[in-house]
């Protein structure tokens, strides 16, 4: 199955990176959703994966990955593995991906899905994503697939100088996917990407913000 529909949806959302579009075209999304939903995998829509949460819409995933500007040399930290679809895309664009998932059963599904797709440069870890993975830091890029009022301090600390972090930020009743950059040791808001709806980020460091206010 080819995913031309998903490629076109990514293009429509503003994604132009040919490497990312190629990864979407050649990554079998039907391998990264529960089997009962495989027939819907070509559609640009979220799909439920258990624990009251869905996979993200592919065009939204594409926008978030595109903002990281991956060139193939980076080490990436992903928070929220799910069934591993976004992980697989990241792995095709980066040198190494570490992905954190708090549900052990979802992590097992993701590991199996990544292995069946031939992805060998992604490691799935069960744990509190808000704490990051200090033993593998610093990370050139971080992507968080859950929403909170601010970036948790450990994730800001583990981002390398000059790195990029993408995360949906909750403000009042709205959630906006936001791009941050690390400059002079500080995490600075750089750009608002798109409104979205995500599950809440859960963990010890949700209330420990690590980002500076946007620069004027």
d(CA 124, CA 106) in angstroms, rounded, equals 10
Q: Is 71 a catalytic residue?
A: no
CA distance 53 to 199: 7
Q: How far apart are CA 20 and CA 97, in angstroms?
A: 15
The C-alpha atoms of residue 47 and residue 54 are separated, in whole angstroms, by: 5
User: Strand, helix or coil at 96?
Assistant: strand
CA 208 – CA 27 distance, rounded (Å): 36
Catalytic annotation, pick one of 13, 56, 59, 145: 56
Task: Compute the distance between CA of residue 197 and CA of residue 13 in angstroms, rounded to an integer.
Answer: 16
Residues serving a catalytic function are: 56
């Amino acid at each position: 199955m080819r995913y031309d529909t998903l490629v076109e949806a990514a293009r429509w959302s503003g994604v132009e990176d040919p490497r990312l579009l190629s990864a979407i075209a050649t990554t079998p999304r039907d391998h990264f959703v529960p089997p009962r939903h495989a027939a819907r995998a070509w559609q640009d829509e979220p799909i439920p994966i258990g624990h009251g949460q869905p996979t993200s819409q592919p065009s939204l995933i594409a926008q978030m990955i595109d903002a990281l500007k991956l060139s193939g040399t980076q080490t990436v930290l992903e928070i929220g593995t799910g069934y591993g679809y976004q992980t697989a895309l990241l792995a095709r664009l980066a040198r190494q991906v570490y992905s954190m998932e708090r549900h052990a059963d979802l992590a097992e599904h993701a590991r199996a899905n990544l292995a069946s797709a031939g992805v060998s440069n992604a490691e799935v870890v069960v744990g509190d994503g808000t704490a990051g993975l200090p033993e593998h830091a610093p990370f050139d890029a971080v992507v968080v697939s859950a929403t909170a009022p601010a970036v948790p301090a450990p994730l800001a600390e583990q981002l390398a100088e000059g790195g990029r972090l993408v995360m949906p930020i909750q403000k009042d009743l709205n959630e906006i996917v936001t791009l941050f950059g690390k400059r002079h040791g500080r995490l600075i808001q750089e750009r608002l990407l798109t409104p979205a709806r995500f599950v809440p980020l859960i963990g010890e460091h949700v209330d420990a913000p690590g980002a500076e206010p946007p620069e004027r």
